[in-house]
Chain A
Amino acid sequence: MIRVTDLQLNYGAARILNELSFEIPKGSMMGLIGPNGAGKSSLIKVLAGLVFPQKGQLEVNGEVTAFKDLRQRTGYMIDAPSFYKQLSGPQNLRLLQQINEVSTDIDSLLNLVGLQDAGSKKIKHYSTGMKQRLAIAAALIASPEILILDEPFNGLDPGGYKDLWDILTGLNQQGITLIISSHLLADLETHATDFMLLNNGCLSLSLSKSELHRTERLISFYFDKEITKDQLQLFEPLDIREWSSDYVQVLMKPNAIALFTKELLDKGLVPVNMKTQTILQQTYFSLSR
Chain B
Amino acid sequence: MIALLRTEWFKVFTSLRTYLTFLIAIVLMAIINFGLYVEGEAILAFLLQPLKDYFLVEGNILNGYLIAYFSLNTLWVHIPVLVIVVSAYIFSSEFEEGTIKLLLAQPIKRSRLILAKIVTMTGYNLLFIVVLAVFALVPAVLIFGTGDIMVLNGGLQFLLEDSFFWRYGLSVLFAMIAMTAFSSLSMYAALYFKDSLTAILVSFGILILHTLFQSFTFEVSSVWQNLLFTFHMSNWQLLFMTEVPWDQLYISIVFLLLFTLLFSIMSVLRFKKMNIS
Q: What is the interface of chain A, defined by CB distance below 8 A to chain B?
A: 11, 42, 45, 48-52, 69, 71-72, 75-76, 78-87, 95-96, 98-101, 138, 142
Contacts and interface: CB of A to CB of B under 8 A. Distances in A.
B277 A42 contact: yes
B16 interface: yes
B15 A86 contact: yes
Given A78-B101, A82-B99, A87-B14, A99 B108 contact: yes
Contacts, number: 71
Choose among B4, B6, B14, B104 the residue with the greatest number of A CB atoms under 10 Å from its CB. Answer: B104
B11 interface: yes
A138 B108 CA distance: 15
A71 B105 CA distance: 6
A82 B97 contact: yes
B42 interface: no
A98 B108 CA distance: 11
Nearest to A69: B107
A78 B106 CA distance: 12
Contacts of A85: 97
16 contacts: A50-B105, A50-B277, A51-B275, A51-B277, A52-B275, A75-B105, A76-B105, A78-B105, A82-B102, A84-B14, A86-B15, A86-B16, A95-B10, A95-B11, A98-B6, A99-B106
Contacts of B104: 48-50
B57 interface: no
B107 A72 contact: yes
Contact of B273 (A52, A75, A83, A84): A52
Given A49-B105, A87-B14, 12 more contacts: A45-B277, A50-B275, A51-B277, A69-B107, A72-B107, A82-B97, A82-B98, A83-B99, A86-B14, A86-B16, A99-B4, A142-B107
B130 to A, nearest CB: 24
**Main SS class of interface, B:** helix
A72 B103 CA distance: 13
B14 to A, nearest CB: 5
Nearest to B10: A95
A142 B6 CA distance: 18
A51 B15 CA distance: 29
A99 B3 contact: yes
A52 B277 CA distance: 10
B157 interface: no
A99 B276 contact: no
B226 interface: no
A146 to B, nearest CB: 12
B7 interface: yes
Interface in B109-150: none
B101 A51 contact: no
B16 A100 contact: no
B277 to A, nearest CB: 6
A171 B193 CA distance: 39
Given A49-B104, A72-B107, A84 B11 contact: yes
Contacts of B11: 84, 95
A96 B275 contact: no
A101 B3 contact: yes
A83 B102 contact: yes
B265 to A, nearest CB: 20
B104 to A, nearest CB: 6
B106 to A, nearest CB: 5
A72 B97 CA distance: 24
A74 to B, nearest CB: 8
A99 B273 CA distance: 21
A276 B145 CA distance: 89
